[in-house]
Each structure stands twice: as C-alpha cells, then as structure tokens.
Amino acid sequence: MSLNKQVKIILVETTNSGNIGSALRAMKTMNFSRLCLVKPKEFPSDAVETMAANAKDLIKNIEVVDSLDEALKNINFVVGTSSRMRKVPWPNETLQNASPNIIIEAKKKSKVAILFGREDRGLTNEELQRCNLHLHIPANIDYPVLNLSMAVQVVCYQLYVDEIINREPNKSEFWDVPTAESNHVKRLINHFIEVSEQLEVFNKGNPRQIGARIKRMFTRIGLDEMEVNFMRGFLAAVEKKLKDK
Amino acid sequence: MSLNKQVKIILVETTNSGNIGSALRAMKTMNFSRLCLVKPKEFPSDAVETMAANAKDLIKNIEVVDSLDEALKNINFVVGTSSRMRKVPWPNETLQNASPNIIIEAKKKSKVAILFGREDRGLTNEELQRCNLHLHIPANIDYPVLNLSMAVQVVCYQLYVDEIINREPNKSEFWDVPTAESNHVKRLINHFIEVSEQLEVFNKGNPRQIGARIKRMFTRIGLDEMEVNFMRGFLAAVEKKLKDK
C-alpha cells in the first residue's frame, strides 16, 4: 500500500502562493505528491516555483478546482485540520491519534483527502462539516498558529513516520567496524586499570568506586574493534615509557 | 521541568534570514523560545520580523555568537541534526527515538542544545563531532531535504508531543553525576590527542581517520563530570611521567 497513492492534500483558498510551493516541498520530503488547490488566490506564480525548490517537478500535477465539492470527487474519507474550538463540538483528535486511523483508511483502499484552510481563518464550519475526522496539531496554547505549509509538513511527517515505523531500523545499522568482543573490552578495562595503578592516579581507597566507574564508562560506550585496538596500543605505549624510565 | 528552560535551538551560519524568523515562529508554536545564531549572514533583518509573525516578541532574546564554542558554553548535551551519511559513521537516531532521550537529559537538568546546519550543506564534520547524539528526520530517500525552518518545526513538534504524552522513558533517568559540559569534553579530547601524539601511537598519515574516531568515541558515550575529571587526571599523570624521563 502506498500512502501517497491514497492520500491527497487539499489547500482551500490559499492567499500566499509561496505557501503552496512550501507545502509541495514539504509533501515531497515525506513522499506525498498529490496536491489539490481550491480557488487559490494566485496560481501559477513564481513564488510557487521558488518555494517548491526541488519539488518543482510536482507542480505540473497540481489539481486546481473551483469548489470543495469538486475537490472531494471520488474521495471516501475526509480529514479536516483545525485548531479552533467550534460552537458545536466535533470530535477533534490529536494528530498522533488521528494518523493511524488515516493509515487504516488508506489500507482499506479508501481515497483520503486532508484539508488545510485559509492562512487567516482556517476552514469554515461548513467545510469542517464535510469532514469525517477533525484533527489538530498539539501546540502552545498561547500561540498555536503554525504557518500553513508548516502544518502540512508536520501532518505529512507524522503520517510518513507512522507508516514506516515498522520498516525503518531504529537507528542506523551501518557501522564500518564490528563491535568489539566483550572479552576484548574486559581485557582493555583491566589493562586500563593496571596502567592507572602504575600511574598512581587512583585516590587512596577509591572512595567513589572509581573501578566500577571505569568499567561502566568503557562498557556503556559499545566500543568497536578498532577503538579497542587503538586504546590497547595507547596503553602499551604508556607502559613502555614507564619501563624505559 | 520545563523543556523550554533546558533546551536551546542553535542555527549555524544561516544564509536566508527569513528562515530565522520562520524557525522562531515554529519554535514558539511548540513552546520553545531560546534561539541562538552562530554567524548568521544577516541579522537583524526585516525578513526575520516578517516571517516571525506573532513570535516577534522573542526576537529580542535571540543570542548571536561568533563561534560554536561560544554557543555551547555551559551546554551539557549536544544534539546534531544530519541527514547525510558520514565516512566515520556515528550513531544516528531517528527523531522519534532521539526525542525521549533528549527529554531525559533535560529532566536530568542538563542544558541541551540542538544544532541545525547551513541551508545548503548542513553541519560540518567538525561540528557534528561536537554532538553527543545525531538525529535525522525520517524522510523520502529520493528527496529528504526539508527546509531549515521546517526541520526546526518538526523537531520541536516531536519534542513537544513526547513531553506531554509522558512516554515511558527508555533508559533510566537516574545518574549520580551530572553530564559533563560539552567544552570540557572537547578539552579532554584535545588533551588525549596531544598525549597520543607524544606517545607516538598514531600511525603515519592516520589512514583510517583516527582523529575523527577518537572524537566519536569520547563524544558518543555521554561522559559525566567525574569521568572527564578522572580521564584528565590520567592523562596528566602520563604527561608527568613523560617529562620526568
């Protein structure tokens, strides 16, 4: 299932055409490409091109329509973004809660649309009433006003991450040198403690358990083989100097 | 614990001053207010005001400095944002995995800095080597290039959301000694390299970038103050023996 195939982003009556370009770029970074504009104030425009940066290739696919009805043709599941409380309360999920539900709909082969409103006053009540789900981006109560394209970026990010969360390894698995064997690390630690003793850097009685601290320091780091070898070479060089004395 | 109190956002050599304003607005929507600029191309500037929108009130608090060293004064835990793979790989966490660890550091009362690099080429290797943790925003492999202020928005969003969700911490919050200051770790690394040179343990020409590897080894571990002090004492003792010879 490709989320991009099922999900369309709709910007309603955008005033600042730079925001259209920024939104398109934001979408592309998260692997979305289907953008629809309802009555944009100015489109096409140079600002769209400029702000789209390397998402320029997607401009030609932008769908421009005159009404929300037209934009929602063939759409099964409509999501509205909103931060304002409405007179008639409507279930308004946080983005993190809404995102898995949107993905489930997409997996059910629903065509999904996510609506973003005007820069100054968002979506109208009538537009929000077309939406199956309202979502809001959790934000500072005193200033929850994300720029339009920022909101697109955050929503696309959350969807992208939730979709791939089981696919992408949690941290880069790539490392150029194998992790050192545990026994090699143990020998390094012993070697380090020996040299420390020869150097007389331990305080009398090790009041703060310096031995345990050294073990912890060298163990928690997860040393690789080259690092262990380097440290062993370093300690051997120190020892040699001590003997030469 | 207020995340905002502990966390500072640092933009390094930003070219487009509009991005500074956008980043500030993005921060404010997620309840962050501490912004530091390292050698911005143009600041103050009208574009900052325009793009900051209703985050204008925070412009007067922006810290402007000439070097990363200065920016990292009193910082304990440094996070670098990066999408590129490096020659010497470094643990690079996804934003979702890194975020709880950042929150844990903040809860330990560490001062945390999150670094964002230049628009065109991010952070340098040297800058990244100052970072305890590298994170990347999961993104489209074919076009992972988020606009700078978008990246700030997404990172702040994830931290904000994770802090309010009060997720299960994935490692123990208890540590008996404060995390070392970043500049102390830097001095330790320089000291270690100096002593290694005196000991002649470097191979000719450092064919496998041993300097970068040493930095990585001592930085990724997240040394605490006592460990740094002990290692400094150890190195001083080695130097003393070398001189006594």
Instruction: Read off the CATH number of the domain in which B23 is found.
Output: 3.40.1280.10
Q: Do B161 and A153 touch (CB under 8 A)?
A: no
Nearest residue in B to A178, CA atom: B89
Higher pLDDT, A131 or A87: A131
Token couple for A139: 């934000």
Give the pLDDT band of residue B206 (cuts 50, 70, 90): low
Residue given tokens 């925070």 in the structure block: B58
pLDDT tens sequence across A193-217: 999 988 888 765 555 677 878 888 8
> Which of A38, A130, A141, A132 is CA-nearest to residue A85?
A141
How many domains is chain A partitioned into structurally? Answer: 2
Task: Give the integer Cα–Cα distance in Å for A151 and A116.
Answer: 8
B92 touches chain A (CB under 8 A): yes
For position B237, which CATH number holds? Answer: 1.10.8.590
Residue in A with minimal Cα distance to B132: A221
A2 at interface of B, judged by CB pairs closer than 8 A: no
Give the count of beta carbons closer than 10 Å to the beta carbon of residue B228: 20
What count of Cα atoms within 13 Å lies in the side-chain half-sphere of residue B28? 22
Residues A160 and A222 in one domain: no
pLDDT tier at B203 (50, 70, 90 boundaries)?
Answer: low
How far is Cα B79 from Cα A163, in angstroms, rounded to an integer? Answer: 26
Same domain, B197 and B155: no
A117 is a domain residue: yes
On whether both A29 and A105 belong to a single domain, the answer is yes
Q: Of B165, B193, B208, which marks where a domain is finished?
A: B165
pTM score of the predicted model:
0.81
| Six-digit token string for A22 | 């920024």
Among the candidates A164, A192, A221, a domain finishes at A164
Please indicate if any CB of chain B lies within 8 Å of the CB of A213. yes
Write the residue in A26, A227, A244 that is nearest to B213 by C-beta. A227
Q: Tell me the residue range of the domain where B138 lies.
A: 3-165
Percent of chain B with pLDDT over 70: 91
In this structure, the answer to whether residues B17 and B103 fall within a common structural domain is yes
In order of A230, B38, B108, the CA distances from B191 in angstroms are: 16, 26, 27
Quote ipTM for the complex. Answer: 0.80
Q: Do residues B80 and B109 lie in contact, with contact meaning Cβ atoms separated by under 8 Å?
A: no
